[in-house]
Structures are given as structure tokens and as C-alpha cells.
């Protein structure tokens, strides 16, 4: 696999319906996931869990990239093989989360601005040497009656664009993630409005910074009802409104759009992706970059026990295959 340019790397990750396994939970977030199954979040337990995922047979052909956290890109498997070698052996490219998390926004402290531009160039140089081919930066936009503010959207999208430029100068593909959170009781129309404004601002900022769009991957939220809204939009409505929102805002030379799952159930995240690909009529690949929606069944099956590893790997393999089928518009509920 010789991938020399940013365009080739980006296209490879989403080729043939492949998607991304997001396994870049920070240690505190991994701790929360492990709490739910009664496992202590130690460095070796985190290693064992991720080794189990990366050795799953269903990684092959279905997963084109894996996003790692700083700790994981430096870890070895129990037999001493670097974890990133396990990923490469499965035909997937290693990626790395490079942002430093969220801090309150000065002008509106209930909102956040993603941190991490300081020292980013140096960190990128090291990650490139360690074998990373792509990177991720997550901006968070919250919805309630009087937010998001324009200042929040502008500051976060400017940071995403500066990040993307620095990453490309270091020969890695930037994944830009402007996540509009599902939290709240807002309507799907309100999610559409905020997502549309965020994407529109993002692509203006990327253009201003001279970012190569053909060497970039977008990781957006889907356009959905707020998670606590009484009226929940149907699978078909989510698919139609998401595709429309993307068509309005995303340039056609972007190679791939890989959604976050954002708290959707595993099967809903697959059903939405499938419905969008059945609609079709767009130039980018529409695929997945799921964390919870890929890992949850596997985590539940694992429970930190060696004897559960085969079932846990089967659970991840199944979700990876279901989502690859969905990225080709070839999934249906009977396959579950
Ligand atoms: P979820 O799919 O669990 O939302 O995680 C994806 C991710 O990487 C969020 O940054």
C-alpha cells in the first residue's frame, strides 16, 4: 500500500465503503466507558481493550482508518508488537487526535473553544514520525435557546482551519470535526440551521487558510432532533435533511464525509447512514467514523475478561461490516 499524497490517503480511508474506527477516547472518557462495565481504567486495561479491537477480523476490508489517543499510538500489544502495526496489518491507516480538549469561551463561558494550536506543529512532526497518516480535531457547538453565539461558531471554525493547515504542512490528512451536539430538546429544523451555519463558516475558513480540500476529511454530526425532544424525526427525515444540509455547504472536491455517532444507538447510526447512501446524488463518499456506535456492543461483551475476547471481537466485526454495507446503501435490518 503506497500512499504518497494527501489526496491518496484521504481517498483510501473511505474507499469501497470503508470507514473509521474512532478509538481516541481520552483517559477520563475511557474511564467512563470502563466504569459502565466495572473495569478499572489502567494503562494495561486500556491497552488490552484496544488490542482486542484492533485484532478483530472484521477490521479487514471494513475499516480504513483508526483514530488513536496519544497514549495508544505509543503502546505495544501483549506480545510486544506496536499497536499501530496491528492496525496496519488489518489494512487500516493510523490516525491521531491532536486537539487538547475544550475550554470555556471568553465571551460566552457556557460555550467552549477547542484548545491545542500551541505546539501543534511540533506534535504533528512527532506523530508523523510515529506513523500517523491522518489527524482529528473536534470542535463542539451546543444548542439551547440563546446559543450557539456567532462568536462561538467563528472562533471554533477558525481554529479548525488553522489546525488543518498545520497538519497538511506536516503531510497528514486533517479530519475536521465540527460537532453540533444532540443534547437538548430542540427540533430537527433547529439542528439543520445550526449545522448549516457551522459548515458554511468552516468551509469559508478552510478556504481563507488555503487548506487543500481534496486532502481533507469532514467528520460532521447528522441533522437530528435533539436527544430529549418529544417529537423525534424518522430515519428517512434525518437522512434527507442531512444530505440536503451537506449538499448546500460542502464542496464537491472533498473526498469523504465520515459521520460521528454522537450518542445514537448502534443500529440507528447504521440505518441513517444506509438511508443517506440510498438517496445518493452526491460526489463525496458518505461513511462512518463512529466511536460508541462501533464499540458499545463489543465493550458490553468484553467486560474486561480474557474468555470473552472472541465474542467481543465478533461484536466489533459485525458492526464494522454493517456500517460498510450502509456506506454502500446495501444494509437492511434483517442483516442485524
Ligand atoms: P462517537 O461516534 O461516539 O460520537 O465518537 C466519535 C468521535 O470521535 C467524537 O469525537
pLDDT, average across residues 95-116: 97
The pLDDT-based confidence of 87 (bands split at 50, 70, 90) is very high
* 133, 136, 219, 285: the active-site residue: 219
Residues 6+ apart with CB under 8 A from 328: 16, 17, 277
- Output the pTM of the full model: 0.97
% of the chain residues with pLDDT over 70: 100
Give the pLDDT score at 253.
97
- The residue whose CA is least distant from atom 9 of ligand 1 is 260
- 73-85 pLDDT tens trace: 999 999 999 999 9
> Using CA atoms, how far apart are residues 278 and 327, in angstroms rounded to an integer?
9
- The residue whose CA is least distant from atom 10 of ligand 1 is 138
**Is 299 among the domain residues?**
yes
- The residue whose CA is least distant from atom 1 of ligand 1 is 291
Most informative mutation of 96, 160, 261, 320 for ligand 1 (most atoms within 8 A of CB): 261
**Is 270 among the domain residues?**
yes
**Is 1 among the domain residues?**
no
> Using CA atoms, how far apart are residues 62 and 219, in angstroms rounded to an integer?
18
**Is 52 among the domain residues?**
yes
> Using CA atoms, how far apart are residues 335 and 271, in angstroms rounded to an integer?
11
Residues 6+ apart with CB under 8 A from 169: 121, 124
**Is 98 among the domain residues?**
yes
Structural domain for 97, as ranges: 6-335
pLDDT, average across residues 297-307: 98
Q: CB under 6 Å to ligand 1: residues? A: 22, 24, 138, 177, 260-262, 290-293
DSSP string, 62-94: TEEEEEE-HHHHT-B-TTS-BHHHHHHHTT-EE
Determine the 3-state secondary structure of 119 from DSSP.
Answer: coil
219 CA to centre of ligand 1 in angstroms: 9
Domain of residue 327, CATH code: 3.20.20.70
pLDDT, average across residues 98-127: 98
215 CA to centre of ligand 1 in angstroms: 21
- 231-288 pLDDT tens trace: 999 999 999 999 999 999 999 999 999 999 999 999 999 999 999 999 999 999 999 9
Active site residue 219: yes
Give the pLDDT score at 1.
63
Give the pLDDT score at 89.
98
**Is 305 among the domain residues?**
yes
Mean pLDDT of the chain: 98
Beta-carbon-side half-sphere exposure of residue 93 (alpha carbons within 13 Å): 26
- 10-62 pLDDT tens trace: 999 999 999 999 999 999 999 999 999 999 999 999 999 999 999 999 999 99
Which grid cell sits at 157? 471554525
Give the pLDDT score at 4.
86
% of the chain residues with pLDDT over 90: 99
> Using CA atoms, how far apart are residues 171 and 183, in angstroms rounded to an integer?
35
Active site residue 32: no
140 CA to centre of ligand 1 in angstroms: 11
> Using CA atoms, how far apart are residues 66 and 60, in angstroms rounded to an integer?
12
Give the pLDDT score at 38.
97
Determine the 3-state secondary structure of 101 from DSSP.
Answer: coil
179 CA to centre of ligand 1 in angstroms: 9
291 CA to centre of ligand 1 in angstroms: 4
The pLDDT-based confidence of 2 (bands split at 50, 70, 90) is confident
- 165-199 pLDDT tens trace: 999 999 999 999 999 999 999 999 999 999 999 99
Total structural domains within the chain? 1
Residues 283 and 16 sit within 8 Å (Cβ to Cβ):
no
Amino acid at each position: 500500500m503506497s500512499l504518497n499524497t494527501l489526496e491518496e490517503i484521504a481517498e483510501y480511508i473511505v474507499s469501497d465503503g470503508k470507514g473509521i474506527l474512532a478509538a481516541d477516547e481520552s483517559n477520563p472518557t475511557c474511564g467512563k466507558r470502563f466504569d459502565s462495565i466495572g473495569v478499572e481504567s489502567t494503562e494495561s486495561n486500556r491497552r488490552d481493550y484496544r488490542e482486542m479491537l484492533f485484532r478483530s477480523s472484521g477490521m479487514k476490508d471494513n475499516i480504513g482508518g483508526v483514530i488513536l489517543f496519544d497514549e495508544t499510538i505509543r503502546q505495544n500489544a501483549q506480545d510486544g508488537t506496536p499497536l499501530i502495526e496491528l492496525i496496519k496489518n488489518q489494512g487500516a491507516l493510523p490516525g491521531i487526535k491532536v486537539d487538547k480538549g475544550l475550554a470555556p469561551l471568553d465571551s460566552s463561558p457556557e460555550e467552549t473553544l477547542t484548545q491545542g494550536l500551541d505546539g501543534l506543529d511540533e506534535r504533528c512532526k512527532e506523530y508523523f514520525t510515529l506513523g500517523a497518516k491522518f489527524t482529528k480535531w473536534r470542535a463542539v457547538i451546543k444548542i439551547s435557546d440563546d446559543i450557539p453565539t456567532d462568536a462561538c461558531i467563528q472562533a471554533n471554525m477558525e481554529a479548525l482551519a488553522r489546525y488543518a493547515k498545520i497538519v497538511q504542512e506536516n503531510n497528514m490528512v486533517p479530519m475536521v470535526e465540527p460537532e453540533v451536539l444532540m443534547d437538548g430538546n430542540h427540533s430537527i429544523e433547529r439542528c439543520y440551521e445550526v449545522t448549516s451555519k457551522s459548515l458554511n463558516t468552516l468551509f469559508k475558513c478552510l478556504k481563507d487558510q488555503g487548506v487543500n480540500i481534496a486532502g481533507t476529511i469532514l467528520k460532521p454530526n447528522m441533522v437530528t432532533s435533539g436527544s430529549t425532544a418529544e417529537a423525534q424525526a424518522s430515519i428517512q427525515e434525518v437522512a434527507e435533511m442531512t444530505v440536503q444540509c451537506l449538499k448546500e455547504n460542502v464542496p464537491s472536491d472533498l473526498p469523504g464525509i465520515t459521520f460521528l455517532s454522537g450518542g445514537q444507538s448502534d443500529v440507528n447510526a447504521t440505518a441513517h447512514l444506509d438511508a443517506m447512501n440510498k438517496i445518493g446524488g452526491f460526489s463525496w463518499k458518505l461513511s462512518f467514523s463512529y466511536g460508541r456506535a462501533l464499540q458499545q456492543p463489543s465493550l458490553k461483551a468484553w467486560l474486561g475478561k480474557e474468555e470473552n475476547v472472541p465474542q467481543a471481537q465478533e461484536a466489533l466485526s459485525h458492526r464494522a461490516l454493517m456500517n460498510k454495507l450502509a456506506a454502500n446503501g446495501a444494509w437492511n435490518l434483517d442483516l442485524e
